[in-house]
């Protein structure tokens, strides 16, 4: 009995502040540090002196006080005179900072300097927002247990526009959201400002994000939000974001002049239409003087666009750009153009935009998804990156895990994004990485941008799962610096979100880093793509619907038959390789030179193809599925061992989701193997157990809501045939 009590006490001591937490505080938890750490590592933080009184400086001061008071376990006072041990924050507008000769020329408009000067910690920016970013960076250092004795840091964002794209509808449903409904309560706006808006702004500012698109680019929300009443709602949100350096943008529907303006046409060359957009822009800027601009999805998946009038994407984008230019607004024109055609789908975006390179006005950014298909677990980089030297080309990632297990599967996305950003386009020879295209340096573009389709909703923990917060965090950190390493980001996030104890941080970092490859293994190994059921994108396609028709996705994207599997995208097939720069095209044309993890993306190969890594293609494929499931089981075991370090609530949701992920991964493995076996007629490799169910079983796999209904916003509780 006594021993049990002692053990419990010991456990509580290990767990430290592991009180029940619901995840609302994200990585801005500011729980008390150990006394020894404070004494050793956090000097010169006994009071806060802020220079200036702008809303942004006040926000920085408030955050510093909140954060340090929490971390140091006592209220840190504000000071009006500089004393030894004070934190001084501001800009060179203030004499105390100006005379310090800080290296602010390297900090740019939004970056910061953090420097220990004598017994003072100075946090400075060229602008108030820069200072605010510095305050958050300083708090990150304290939370991640950095040594703060002699700081000498300069940091500036490498990419100009760093934004979240909300696919939020005006009725608050989410296109591809798995964390509740939209946090933007349009019904109550502009009358009531939910306190969550400020926390949202704080979280984004802590990462240095500087823009947010409030509405979904697909569907009618993009028209409704241009009505005057809605612009006023957006203006109210802009008011909350402004002190945090975040501009609001709206998605706009190309046909809005008709839907909202009552015009007969939306033809971009029609003078009345052009005037309508100008007037609309003027109206918006009257209400939101620092409005960011428009995000547009046009002529894609049935959305209206300039091609409806025989005009080009450039005609459409430039019309809007002209309307926004006097106000310094930006058009983000999406390159995700998908309309069913006999042509290989992955070629469409490049085919439509390459001929328009150089035809866009300077305030237009063409925003491309990372891959040429659609946010798959793995794709090669889109040839739009590097292919448009005379166009500002922005990156679009998907933070919400539409194709990676929604909020249920633990998949840390930074390795995926890093893989893309580090891919070499060879557009200007070796070293022409996607990151250098996106940050504008490769082609010396005036504008640069990176966007992430948000995973935020009304779930108390914001993202549906605790580990999906890491994807929001990682997106923001990579947006600031696309050269950051996904391991560093994972460690930072874990230390702030849970504990800095290495016994927790090391194993869980490793688990996070492997998690994306694990999902690739059980979903779409070896360069396969889009094996998700057409209706929901969560689990494997059931392959045959109730009417006996095969699900289009697995069939179209795997092209598996008796002879082999994969899509021939070389010169003998769809020739998508020709869209890449010569050295890349050459490598992708040769199965031996194509990375094994993209093999079936570019090649249709016989099942007996000898794999460089050993075995034949069939054996290798089966092995990957099995490996993926085993890895999820390992994640489960590893997480169980972390129980002493995590509060009960956040431990349990993660354990529950991992159990569901394990069950789902088995269905992915068994269903995929059963399907490919049904077309290849090959026996299973030695030692591989037969799938638990016949192929017909997977037909009955359904999610408990109708695809395309508002229910898509809800989580499927389980993908199960039981
Ligand atoms: C697809 C999604 C769809 C989005 C589309 C897009 O399934 O819901 O509207 O992307 O990016 O992946 O516009």
Ligand 1 test: best mutation among 402, 533, 535, 708, most atoms within 8 Å of CB? 402
Q: Whose CA is nearest to atom 10 of ligand 1?
A: 374
Return the active site residues.
301, 374, 402
**C-alpha angle 272-275-278 in degrees, rounded to nearest 5:** 155
Query: Which residue among 106, 140, 155 closes a domain?
Result: 155
CB atoms within 10 A of CB 428: 14
Residues 35 and 177 grouped into a single domain: no
19, two tokens: 């009180």
Alpha carbon of 254 to ligand 1 centroid (Å):
17
In a domain, 446, yes or no: yes
In a domain, 7, yes or no: no
Contact (Cβ atoms closer than 8 angstroms) between residue 381 and residue 423: yes
In a domain, 511, yes or no: no
Query: CB of 376 closer than 6 A to ligand 1?
Result: no
pLDDT at 704: 54
In a domain, 550, yes or no: yes
Residues 109 and 181 grouped into a single domain: no
Q: Whose CA is nearest to atom 13 of ligand 1?
A: 218
In a domain, 720, yes or no: no
What are the two backbone dihedrals, phi and then psi, of residue 561, each rounded to the nearest 5 degrees?
A: -145, -170
Ligand 1 test: best mutation among 165, 176, 372, most atoms within 8 Å of CB? 176
Contact (Cβ atoms closer than 8 angstroms) between residue 367 and residue 396: yes
Alpha carbon of 334 to ligand 1 centroid (Å):
11
Residues 151 and 41 grouped into a single domain: yes
C-alpha distances out from residue 258 to 226, 264, 310, Å: 12, 6, 17
SS3 109: coil
Q: Whose CA is nearest to atom 12 of ligand 1?
A: 374
pLDDT at 146: 85
C-alpha distances out from residue 64 to 195, 466, 477, Å: 19, 25, 20
Output the domain CATH number for residue 148.
Answer: 3.30.379.10
Strand-strand pairing, 112-117 and 152-155:
antiparallel
Please identify, by atom number, the ligand 1 atom nearest to the C-alpha of residue 217. 13
In a domain, 277, yes or no: yes
Query: CB of 176 closer than 6 A to ligand 1?
Result: yes
Hey, which residues does 3 pair with through a beta bridge? none
Residues 456 and 547 grouped into a single domain: no
Query: CB of 374 closer than 6 A to ligand 1?
Result: yes
Alpha carbon of 243 to ligand 1 centroid (Å):
32
Alpha carbon of 162 to ligand 1 centroid (Å):
20
Exposure b/e, 281-314, CB count within 10 A at least 16 = b: beebbebbeebbbbbbbbbbeebbbbbbbebbbb
Residues 125 and 178 grouped into a single domain: no
Residues 202 and 235 grouped into a single domain: yes
What are the two backbone dihedrals, phi and then psi, of residue 637, each rounded to the nearest 5 degrees?
A: -60, -45
> Contacts for 317-320 with beta carbons within 8 Å, 24 or more apart?
317/360, 317/361, 317/364, 317/366, 318/268, 318/359, 318/360, 318/361, 318/364, 319/268, 319/269, 319/273, 319/274, 319/277, 320/252, 320/277, 320/294, 320/296
Residues 324 and 473 grouped into a single domain: yes
Alpha carbon of 118 to ligand 1 centroid (Å):
54
Query: CB of 712 closer than 6 A to ligand 1?
Result: no
Query: CB of 396 closer than 6 A to ligand 1?
Result: no
pLDDT digits (tens, 9 = 90+) for 629-677: 999 999 999 999 999 999 999 999 999 999 999 999 999 999 999 999 9
Query: CB of 375 closer than 6 A to ligand 1?
Result: yes
Is the alpha carbon torsion for 522, 526, 527, 531 positive or negative?
Answer: negative
pLDDT at 688: 86
Alpha carbon of 296 to ligand 1 centroid (Å):
13
Ligand 1 test: best mutation among 174, 216, 218, most atoms within 8 Å of CB? 218
Residues 185 and 132 grouped into a single domain: no
Neighbouring residues of 7: CB distance < 8 A, sequence distance ≥ 6: none
- Residue that the structure tokens 């269903």 belong to: 671
Output the domain CATH number for residue 545.
Answer: 3.90.1330.10
Query: CB of 297 closer than 6 A to ligand 1?
Result: yes
Please identify, by atom number, the ligand 1 atom nearest to the C-alpha of residue 374. 12
Alpha carbon of 639 to ligand 1 centroid (Å):
33
Please identify, by atom number, the ligand 1 atom nearest to the C-alpha of residue 176. 8
Ligand 1 test: best mutation among 175, 298, 346, 373, most atoms within 8 Å of CB? 175
What are the two backbone dihedrals, phi and then psi, of residue 228, each rounded to the nearest 5 degrees?
A: -55, -45
In a domain, 359, yes or no: yes
Please identify, by atom number, the ligand 1 atom nearest to the C-alpha of residue 175. 8
- Total domain count, the chain: 3
Residues 280 and 316 grouped into a single domain: yes
- Quick one: 638 exposed, middle or buried, by C-beta within 10 A (0-12, 13-18, 19+)? middle
DSSP state of 356: G
Alpha carbon of 536 to ligand 1 centroid (Å):
12
Output the domain CATH number for residue 285.
Answer: 3.20.20.80
Residues 120 and 165 grouped into a single domain: no
Contact (Cβ atoms closer than 8 angstroms) between residue 394 and residue 332: yes
SS3 409: coil
Q: Which helix (H) or strand (E) holds 205?
A: helix 195-207
Alpha carbon distance 664, 629 (integer Å):
9
Q: Whose CA is nearest to atom 11 of ligand 1?
A: 336
Alpha carbon distance 172, 168 (integer Å):
6
In a domain, 491, yes or no: no
Residue range of the domain that includes 122:
23-155
Q: Whose CA is nearest to atom 2 of ligand 1?
A: 176
Residues 109 and 178 grouped into a single domain: no
Query: Which residue among 121, 155, 189 closes a domain?
Result: 155
Alpha carbon of 340 to ligand 1 centroid (Å):
14
Tell whether pTM > 0.85.
Answer: yes
pLDDT at 18: 54
Query: CB of 336 closer than 6 A to ligand 1?
Result: yes
Residues 658 and 639 grouped into a single domain: yes
pLDDT at 298: 98
Please identify, by atom number, the ligand 1 atom nearest to the C-alpha of residue 537. 7
Query: CB of 538 closer than 6 A to ligand 1?
Result: no
Exposure b/e, 567-599, CB count within 10 A at least 16 = b: bbbbeebbebbbbbbeebbebbbebeebeebbb
Averaged pLDDT in 10-residue chunks for the chain of 722 residues: 42 49 97 91 92 95 98 96 93 94 97 96 98 98 90 97 97 92 96 98 99 96 96 98 98 98 98 98 98 98 97 98 98 94 93 98 98 98 98 98 96 98 98 98 97 97 97 99 98 98 98 98 98 87 74 91 97 98 98 98 98 95 97 98 97 97 94 93 90 79 49 39 34
Q: What does the CA dihedral 345, 347, 348, 354 come to, rounded to 10 degrees?
A: 170
Query: CB of 468 closer than 6 A to ligand 1?
Result: no
Alpha carbon of 347 to ligand 1 centroid (Å):
17
């Amino acid at each position: 009995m006594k021993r049990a009590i002692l053990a419990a006490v010991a456990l509580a001591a290990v767990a430290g502040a592991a009180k029940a937490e619901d995840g609302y505080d994200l990585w801005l938890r500011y729980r008390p540090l150990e006394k020894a750490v404070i004494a050793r590592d956090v000097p010169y933080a006994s009071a806060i002196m802020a220079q200036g009184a702008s809303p942004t400086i006040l926000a920085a001061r408030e955050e510093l006080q909140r954060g340090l008071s929490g971390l140091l376990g006592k209220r840190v006072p504000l000071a009006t005179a500089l004393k030894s041990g004070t934190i001084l924050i501001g800009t060179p507008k203030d004499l105390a900072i100006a005379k310090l000769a800080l290296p602010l020329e390297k900090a740019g408009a939004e970056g910061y300097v953090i420097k220990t000067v004598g017994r003072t910690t100075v946090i400075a920016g060229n602008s108030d927002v820069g200072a605010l970013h510095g305050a958050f960076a300083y708090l990150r250092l304290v939370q991640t247990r950095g040594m703060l004795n002699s700081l000498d840091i300069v940091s500036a964002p490498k990419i100009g526009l760093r934004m979240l794209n909300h696919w939020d509808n005006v009725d608050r449903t989410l296109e591809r959201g798995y964390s509740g409904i939209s946090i933007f309560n349009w019904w109550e706006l502009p009358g009531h400002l939910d306190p969550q808006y400020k926390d949202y702004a704080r979280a984004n500012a802590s990462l240095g994000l500087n823009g947010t698109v409030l509405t979904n680019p697909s569907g009618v929300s993009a028209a409704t939000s241009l009505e005057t009443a809605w612009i006023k709602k957006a203006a109210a949100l802009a008011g909350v974001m402004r002190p945090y350096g975040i501009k609001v943008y709206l998605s706009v529907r190309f046909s809005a002049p008709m839907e909202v303006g009552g015009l007969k046409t939306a033809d971009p060359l029609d003078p009345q239409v052009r005037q309508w957009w100008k007037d609309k822009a003027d109206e918006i800027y009257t209400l939101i003087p620092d409005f960011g601009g428009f995000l547009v999805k046009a002529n894609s998946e049935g959305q209206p666009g300039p091609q409806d009038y025989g005009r080009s994407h450039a005609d459409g984008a430039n019309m809007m750009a002209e309307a926004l230019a006097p106000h310094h607004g930006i058009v983000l024109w999406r390159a995700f153009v998908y309309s069913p055609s006999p042509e290989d789908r992955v070629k469409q975006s490049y085919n439509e935009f390459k001929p328009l390179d150089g035809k866009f006005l300077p305030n237009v950014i063409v925003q491309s998804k990372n891959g040429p298909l659609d946010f798959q677990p793995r794709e090669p980089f889109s040839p739009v990156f590097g292919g448009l030297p005379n166009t500002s080309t922005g990156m679009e990632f998907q933070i919400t895990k539409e194709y990676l297990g929604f909020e249920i599967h633990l998949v840390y996305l930074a390795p995926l994004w890093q893989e893309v950003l580090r891919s070499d386009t060879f557009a200007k020879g070796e070293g022409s990485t996607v990151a250098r295209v996106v940050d504008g340096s490769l082609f010396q573009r005036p504008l640069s941008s990176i966007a992430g389709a948000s995973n935020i909703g009304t779930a108390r923990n914001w993202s549906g799962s605790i580990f999906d917060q890491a994807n929001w965090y990682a997106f923001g950190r990579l947006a600031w610096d696309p050269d950051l390493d996904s391991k560093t980001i994972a460690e930072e996030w874990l230390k702030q979100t849970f504990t800095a104890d290495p016994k927790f941080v090391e194993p869980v970092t490793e688990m996070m880093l492997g998690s994306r490859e694990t999902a690739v293994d059980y979903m779409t190994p070896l360069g396969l793509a889009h094996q998700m059921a057409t209706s929901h994108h969560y689990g494997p396609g059931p392959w045959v619907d109730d009417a006996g028709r095969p699900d289009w996705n697995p069939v179209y994207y795997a092209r598996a038959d008796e002879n082999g599997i994969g899509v021939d995208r070389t010169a003998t097939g769809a020739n998508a390789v020709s869209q890449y720069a010569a050295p890349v095209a050459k490598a992708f044309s040769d199965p031996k030179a194509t990375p094994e993890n993209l093999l079936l993306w570019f090649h249709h190969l016989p099942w007996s193809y000898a794999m460089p890594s050993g075995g034949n293609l069939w054996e290798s494929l089966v092995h990957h599925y099995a490996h993926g499931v085993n890895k999820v089981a390992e994640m489960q075991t590893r997480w169980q061992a972390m129980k002493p370090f995590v509060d009960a609530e956040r431990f349990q949701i993660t354990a529950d989701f991992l159990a569901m992920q394990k069950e789902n991964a088995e269905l992915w493995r068994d269903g995929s193997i059963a399907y490919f076996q049904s077309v290849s007629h090959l026996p299973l490799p030695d030692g591989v157990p037969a799938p638990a169910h016949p192929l017909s079983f997977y037909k009955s796999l359904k999610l408990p809501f109708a695809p395309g209904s508002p229910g898509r916003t809800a989580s499927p509780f389980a993908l199960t045939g039981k």
